[in-house]
Structure 1
Amino acid sequence: MAAMTGVRPLVLVLLDGWGVRTEREGNALATARTRIYDRLAAASPQSLLAAAGEAVGLAAGKPGYPQAAYSALGAGRPVPPPAARISRAFQEDGPGGIAAHPVLHQLVSRVRPLGGAVHLVGTMTPSNVTGHQRYLAVLAALLSHEGVKVWVHAVMDGQDTRAQSGIEHLAEFLDDIAGAENAELGSVMGRSFGFDDLSDPAAIATAWRALANAEAPYTEYPTAYLDQCYRKGLSDDRIPPSIASSYRGIRQDDAVLLVNLQADHAHGLFGALIDPVTAGLAEKAPSLSGIYSLTRLAAPLGDRVTPLFEAMSFKASFAETLAQAGLNQLTLTETAAEANLWNFARGGATALFHGETVLVTDTLPLTQAEKKPELASAAITDELLAALKKGEHDVITANFSNAAILGRTGNVRATVEAIEAIDKCLGKIAAQVDKRGGTLILCGTYGKAEMMLDPETGGTWRGTTTSDVPLILIGGPKELELQNGTLADVAPTLLHLLGLAAPREMTGRSLIAASVPDRISA
């Protein structure tokens, strides 16, 4: 396959949270002034990409989210998330079921002879994105049946669920474990306290002291405590830690099991549990008999926490294919989206490929993001422009996560400002790509900012959506046309532009209309 004239450098700009929705109410993307984006879209071939449900390896009708989106982008095919095989294990009896899992038996054999307890830490949610409360209930019942004391630490969601729906989820969970005589709720707190990628150090320290030292306000009635927090205007993810009056912290010979579904989940808190000093805490680490996770955690914790299930992995990613073709590639991102690159888009590959460079800029904690909604977009743009001027890379990928991150806050005004900041960056990038005679691709990854009001309640909606996302090609051959497709079709389309054959593992297809002839590059 011949490369098309004027393709290189090929610049791919990934826009997190940039969904397409015609309704304007609660739509930050429609409200924002995006004159540059609108002008580029109007003058260029464009299409819509399915970014949710089966198109990205999820159940039909399920909203898209970063793990699914970036896996499909990198693999060139839908990749079922770890939750799919974990769900099967929790449903099966016999050798393949969770009750027979050898790592779970190892945990029991370590803790029970020493009289230790197991601390289950997980998201109290039915979303099945970061976790699922059913897994917490099943594990609590299994361990309790083995005669092991179980403390459950409920992490409230409020992002992948309605903002104040956690009280219902917690009440249901407490009913589910009512018959497990050795299981007890130890604490309740929001996911912003050390479980999100943008948790600030102060929040992590507060959560650490609650779990490790039982230093937090007591509550006898956790659902009543949630109701009090709701009356103060707090969403589930911002619930301050509170502990049961009987809880005494993590003691010697206890074990901790993170009930997670994503490799980048709870790194802030679990990193502090393993090494408080490195996390900035002048505290002594609890003397644990073991620390486990449901899904293998990403580096640097992956080798220090024993997983029950391996994380997602695949070969023949887009980045690997470029390297095998001898192309130089640069990826620009920020810490908030770094896991999307390493764990998802690259299929878990942690070493750089030949000819690959990755630059990561720090992201502000979520609590500060609303004050500076442009986040790292300016720094990423500066790096991109400098790289274009040097002319050393065939392919450059830049990830702008502003719309998704600010969308998680529920602050529409700040989200609009974040989108407008990206629009300014796009103007600079497009001008420089045009000057270099290259091609610019704008690609949404999953929906978020286009729907910030709950259609059922009219309140704030902070979760992701089932919306399609845009694909826009700027600066390619004049007669080029794009067909509609899915996120899994992006990698094959880019390889087509570069004149490279997609590896057989990629089941996606090129979205360049078949009637458009290839041109040999000069």
Structure 2
Amino acid sequence: MLTRLQQHPTRRPPEGPVVCVVLDGVGIGRGDFGDAVAQARTPTLDRLRGLPSFTSLLAHGTAVGMPSDADMGNSEVGHNALGAGRIVDQGAKLVSGAIASGAIFGPAWRRCVDAVKASGEPLHFVGLLSDGNVHSHIDHLLALVERAAIEGVKKVRVHVLLDGRDVPARSALPFIDRLEAALARLSQDGRDYRIASGGGRMVVTMDRYEADWRIVERGWDAHVRGLGRRFSSAREAVETYYKETGLDDQNLPAFVIADAVGPVGPIRDGAAVILFNFRGDRALELTRAFEEEHFDKFARGPKLQVEFAGMTQYDGDLQLPTHFLVAPPAISGTMGELLANAGVTQLAISETHKFGHVTYFWNGNRSEPFDPKREKYVEVPSDGPPLEHRPWMRAADITDRLIAEIDAYKPKFVRVNYANGDMIGHTGDLGATILAVEAVDLCLGRVIEAVRARKGITVVTADHGNADQMFDLRPDGAYQVRTSHSLNRVPLAIVDPRAPGGGPVLAPPPSAGLSNVASTCLELLGFLPPESYRASLLAR
């Protein structure tokens, strides 16, 4: 992989910075009543659509390394593609390949199986129960459970986190029924395989970026301590919570499955635990709770003496978890690394919800800067929930800080993420999402004018769709609130005051996707993109 950039023979960088703005979750929808982007007042986006540089990009499926074009994109793979400049096989595809080859049943798997065979404690599986293929896939879980039975594991307990975010809002019961059927089938010849606990992903276990450790603590209480409201089955828990709370899957409270003796599956010393999520951001905190010797984020107590493994390694810099079933993609030669090696000053900025995306994921799953002297990372603390009550989030604060840093730090390349379209889109609240898009559009206009005044270039795109499709049409003709990402293309526009018409002419092929953005930005900065990168979209 090329690690040194060469100057472009004809393109010259601007006097000011090149600023890449990621409008998280702002795709190009059908323009109907459920398209919050189209429904919003967006004078800035409207102007961008009239530029000669406006086009659209693929941001899902095989274009971002997912197994098929039926798989939606997400912020992690989107930022991997933006930063890597190439299509990289992602978590879901890596795991599916490792299952097919048998590589997944390597040393980490053996440690877990051997531990429970020796202790008699269950083999526990914790993770998101859905086929969203963003954090996990039920097929992966079932393959692991089947293998456990083949290898003579007598007890299995599954701790199910309910999705409703990457899949329809109330789709938990079919996934539960499918899992229960498999566990019942395998519970013979002395085997005892059951669901032990669960809860909605946004309130139980799956916090990210240390936004709210209470979420992880609720999961710890349910999964490890067996503390929580008791039910005889996961189906009973979900149906009861639907009736009592009116909440969708992602927000359902924790539950514990119990029989006449008590909770059926608290995690105890001697057990083994496999966290079957393959995506790192919402898996890292639970991993820390299991692995850190001195842990102070909540009253965990002494470190459990269990064998713990993740589906993948969730943080390569922190080396967490220590043991994992599938090696994560090794993405070297990212745009950030190449610019650092070329001595280019860089700024990455977002609020907490997406800070890891413009840093860790953009850098090919690396947390730390490549050159701390020439890179600055700025995190603006996010507001707490409920986010739909503040759909503007921290967009204005990000914008203020971004402009101040451009003047003070004088970076040559900037990447910024506005999280609103995605985070508010996930709530399913159309009105709030329209406001979120309007807030981002206002801030985008400020960024473009500030960069123009400093003789720079602004590149505007998105990592995937979400706010652009807030409803799904059901087979019965009714509309259902959609809280997951869309499969829509995303915008790309370049504002360059040096170019006639305000932006350069682009020549995108139909297959143009997020991985083409890196080469485009490198050319705008006056560099030749590496041959291994997807081509620049600038017309020759």
TM-score (norm 1): 0.92
Mapping 1:208-227, distance limit 5 Å = 208-227=220-239
Shift of 1:135: 2.0
Hey, what does 1:186 align to over in structure 2?
196
The one-letter code matched in structure 1 to 2:522 is L
The one of 249, 252, 255 aligned to 1:236 = 249
Mapping 1:103-118, distance limit 5 Å = 103-118=108-123
Hey, what does 2:14 align to over in structure 1?
6
Hey, what does 2:272 align to over in structure 1?
255
The gaps in structure 2 that reach 5 residues or longer are 1-7
Mapping 1:132-151, distance limit 5 Å = 132-145=137-150, 146-151=152-157
Hey, what does 2:516 align to over in structure 1?
489
Shift of 1:239: 1.7
**Structure 1 residues 169 and 287, CA gap change in structure 2 (3 angstroms):** same
CA distance in 1, matches of 2:523, 2:411: 18
Shift of 1:304: 4.4
Contact 1:64 1:466 in 2 (8 A): yes
Shift of 1:345: 1.8
Contact 1:4 1:499 in 2 (8 A): yes
Shift of 1:299: 6.2
CA distance in 1, matches of 2:234, 2:331: 42
Hey, what does 1:518 align to over in structure 2?
none
Shift of 1:407: 0.7
More divergent stretch after superposition (190-199 vs 315-324): 190-199
Shift of 1:262: 0.7
**Structure 1 residues 176 and 357, CA gap change in structure 2 (3 angstroms):** same
Hey, what does 1:333 align to over in structure 2?
350
Contact 1:274 1:285 in 2 (8 A): no
The one of 365, 381, 392 aligned to 2:399 = 381
SS across alignment from 1:90:
helix
Question: Over the residues paired in the alignment, what is the CA RMSD in angstroms?
Answer: 2.2
SS across alignment from 1:445:
coil
**Structure 1 residues 461 and 436, CA gap change in structure 2 (3 angstroms):** same
1:47 aligns with 2:55: yes
Contact 1:45 1:473 in 2 (8 A): yes
Q: Deviations over 1:426-481 (max 9, x none)?
A: 22212211211111111111111000101225111011111111111112432321
TM-score (norm 2): 0.89
Shift of 1:16: 0.7
More divergent stretch after superposition (263-272 vs 129-138): 263-272
**Structure 1 residues 356 and 426, CA gap change in structure 2 (3 angstroms):** same
Identity of aligned residues (%): 28
Shift of 1:503: 1.6
Hey, what does 1:82 align to over in structure 2?
91
Count of residues paired in the alignment: 508
CA distance in 1, matches of 2:336, 2:420: 23
SS across alignment from 2:86:
coil
Q: Deviations over 1:101-136 (max 9, x none)?
A: 222111122232222222110111122211111222
CA distance in 1, matches of 2:422, 2:296: 26
Hey, what does 2:376 align to over in structure 1?
357
The one-letter code matched in structure 2 to 1:188 is G
Mapping 1:42-441, distance limit 5 Å = 42-43=50-51, 45-58=53-66, 59-92=68-101, 96-98=102-104, 100-145=105-150, 146-181=152-187, 182-192=192-202, 193-197=204-208, 200-231=212-243, 232-245=245-258, 246-247=263-264, 249-274=266-291, 278=295, 280-285=297-302, 287-298=304-315, 302-354=319-371, 355-365=374-384, 367-390=385-408, 392-441=410-459
Hey, what does 2:464 align to over in structure 1?
446
Contact 1:277 1:283 in 2 (8 A): no
**Structure 1 residues 503 and 161, CA gap change in structure 2 (3 angstroms):** same
Contact 1:57 1:81 in 2 (8 A): yes
Contact 1:312 1:344 in 2 (8 A): no
Contact 2:358 2:417 in 1 (8 A): no
**Structure 1 residues 280 and 289, CA gap change in structure 2 (3 angstroms):** closer
Shift of 1:248: 5.0
